Structure 1
Amino acid sequence: MSSAAVDDYLKTIYNHTEWQTEQITPSQLASELGLALSSVTEMVRKLAAAGLVTHRPYGPISLTTAGEHRAAAIIRRHRLIETWLVREFGYTWADVHEEAEILEHAISDRLLDGI
């Protein structure tokens, strides 16, 4: 399963639990992503079927080991792009996030290796 939406879900779940132990709920995830709860519920079902998250109805969502690895790779990709944009193109740290959000889904692994 590969898509920008999947990556955004995994990244949001990971970020929620990166500095705390409390797991994210479907309603919190919907709020963070700016989506309807019904849309989030459907995607969480697909992520669970793909083995990327664990979730029981009305319960919190947690990443599986595979989900954690994929989320960490996405975040690493994003942070490398941010650093590259600041160092090579003169972006400020305040302006770089949105550009990195777009590029993290568009650049090839070859370009990322070069960065």
Structure 2
Amino acid sequence: MSTSPAADDYLKTIFHHTEWQDRPITPSVLAAKLGVAPSSVTEMVKKLAAAGLTIHEPYRAVRLTESGLARAVTMTRRHRLIETWLVREFGYTWDEVHDEAEVLEHAVSDRMLDKIDDRLGHPDVDPHGDAIPRPDGTIRR
């Protein structure tokens, strides 16, 4: 599935909001987390819904579809592996890696990500202690 970096960021943010609790994310909370205007969220959520990645009714919370969840987990895996790689291989500290990973997660190929995972010995957690999803989308807690 091909999505834009912006769409991937929305999906990842929706996933992160519900990763540790069951309450779905509202458009206003999504806007605040992404640092964008509510109108921008409305437009993107409409696009994501049209693509079958989210479920959203006006003035209601946003939920991921099965396809949206799969893409969000894939992007979370990419992000967390890259954070781990930056700490272990390049000497970044845990509080420096997020912004770098935000850029790189959209740029590295799947092949390179697999090589990073191999090089790191298939880690279960990132430098922040968050679980890194496996290639099949499962998450070890």
1:8 — aligned with what? Answer: 9
Please give the alpha-carbon distance, in whole angstroms, between the structure 1 residues aligned to 2:35 and 2:90. Answer: 30
Percent identity between matched residues is: 68
2:41 — aligned with what? Answer: 40
Q: How does 1:80-91 map to 2 (within 5 A)?
A: 80-91=81-92
SS in 1 for 2:47: helix
**Could you tell me which amino acid in structure 1 is paired with residue 93 of structure 2?**
T
Superposed displacement of residue 76, structure 1: 0.4
1:57 — aligned with what? Answer: 58
Superposed displacement of residue 8, structure 1: 0.4
1:20 — aligned with what? Answer: 21
Which structure 1 segments of 5+ residues have no match? Answer: none
**Could you tell me which amino acid in structure 2 is paired with residue 88 of structure 1?**
E
**Could you tell me which amino acid in structure 2 is paired with residue 111 of structure 1?**
M
Runs of 4+ with deviation above 4 angstroms:
none
Please give the alpha-carbon distance, in whole angstroms, between the structure 2 residues aligned to 1:100 and 1:24. Answer: 23
Superposed displacement of residue 94, structure 1: 1.3
- How many residue pairs match? The answer is 115
Superposed displacement of residue 113, structure 1: 1.2
| Structure with greater proportional helix content | 1
Q: Which has the higher contact order (CA 8 A, sep 6+)?
A: 1
**Could you tell me which amino acid in structure 1 is paired with residue 6 of structure 2?**
A
**Could you tell me which amino acid in structure 2 is paired with residue 53 of structure 1?**
T
RMSD over aligned CA atoms reads 0.8
Superposed displacement of residue 7, structure 1: 0.5
